Amino acid sequence: MASRITCEVHDESPVTVVHLHGELDLGTMRSVHTVLDRCLSAQPDALVVDLEDVTVADRLALSVFAATARQAAGWPAVPVLVCAPPSDAAAWLAESTTCRVVPVHRDCAEATRLAGEVAAPRLRARLEPVAGACRRARELVGEACGRWNAPELVGPASLVLSELVGNVVRHAHTPMQVTLTLRRPYLHVAVTDGSRSAARPNNPGLRAEGGRGLMLVRETAQRWGSVPLADGKVVWAVVPAN
Which domains occur in the chain, in start order? 5-118 (3.30.750.24), 122-240 (3.30.565.10)
Q: Strand (E) positions, the chain?
A: 5-12, 15-24, 46-56, 80-83, 104-105, 122-127, 176-183, 186-193, 223-229, 232-240
Q: Give 128-168 pLDDT, tens digit per residue.
A: 999 999 999 999 999 999 999 999 999 999 999 999 999 99
pTM of the model: 0.81
> Does residue 218 contact residue 224 with C-beta atoms inside 8 Å?
yes
3-state SS, residue 58: coil
Q: Give 100-109 pLDDT, tens digit per residue.
A: 789 999 999 9
Q: Give 77-101 pLDDT, tens digit per residue.
A: 899 999 999 999 999 998 887 777 8
